[in-house]
Amino acid sequence: MTTSTGANPYQITVGSVTRQLRLVPVGQMGFVPLIEFIGDSELTKAAAQALVPLIPEGTEALLTVVTNALPLTHELSDLSGLPYQVARKKRRTYMQNPLIQEMPGLTLGVSETLWLDGPHAERLSGKKVVIVQDVIATGSMAMALARLTERAGGTVHGYLAAFKQGENTLPMQYLQELPKWVQS
């Protein structure tokens, strides 16, 4: 890890799309470049196109979580023809027998509970499922999604992320690594 105050933007290029990312604080003393797929269809499309070849052979369904990874997963579904399901971070009144999964650890400083509507969980049953995320950092969100997949009766067939940040032990496929700066 490098030390920096995080004052300057961080540049990424995906396919033919280049973006200057804002550096945002995480926790007490760190900064990360903020990936925003929401509101950026150009970057989302470029990332999805680059991810399609990384979808493992035999994948039958995709699973993601609101919010930022949703447009990416939608685009990936559109390009690959694979169906996708979406875990929510709040209970919705219309949910029927949702699977509720606590997520240990923090994403950008926030702890989460995931909700997968019962009928959506049923669509993962017996399926080879790939977990899709915008950024995989600690892996705790990916592991919560994996647990949801198993509880729904599916099997985890792989982990796909546009960006990897820091170290985790998951057998994941990703496009690029993102730095994290820690203030000393």
Ligand X SMILES: Nc1ncnc2[nH]cnc12
Q: Which residues bind ligand X (CB under 6 A)?
A: 32-35, 68, 107-108, 134-135, 137, 165, 178
Nearest to 86 by CA among 61, 103, 57: 61
What does the alpha-carbon distance between residue 156 and residue 124 come to, in Å, rounded to a whole number? 10
Q: Which is nearer to ligand X, 115 or 163 (CB)?
A: 163
Smallest separation (angstroms) from ligand X to the CB of 115: 19
Coil vs helix vs strand at 132: strand
Tokens of 64: 């993601």
Minimum distance, C-beta of residue 143 to ligand X, in the bound complex (Å): 14
Phi and psi of 142, rounded to 5°? -60, -40
Residue 72 and residue 134: Cα distance in Å, rounded? 7
Shortest approach of ligand X to residue 112 CB, angstroms? 11
With respect to ligand X, which residue has the nearer C-beta, 17 or 95?
17
Q: By C-beta, is 42 or 150 nearer to ligand X?
A: 42
Q: Say if CB 133 and CB 106 are below 8 A apart.
A: no
Measured from the CB atom, the residue of 34 and 54 that comes closer to ligand X is: 34
Smallest distance from the beta carbon of 94 to ligand X, in angstroms? 27
CA-based max dimension of the chain:
48
CB of 97 to ligand X, least distance (A): 29
Residue with smaller CB distance to ligand X, 87 or 124: 87
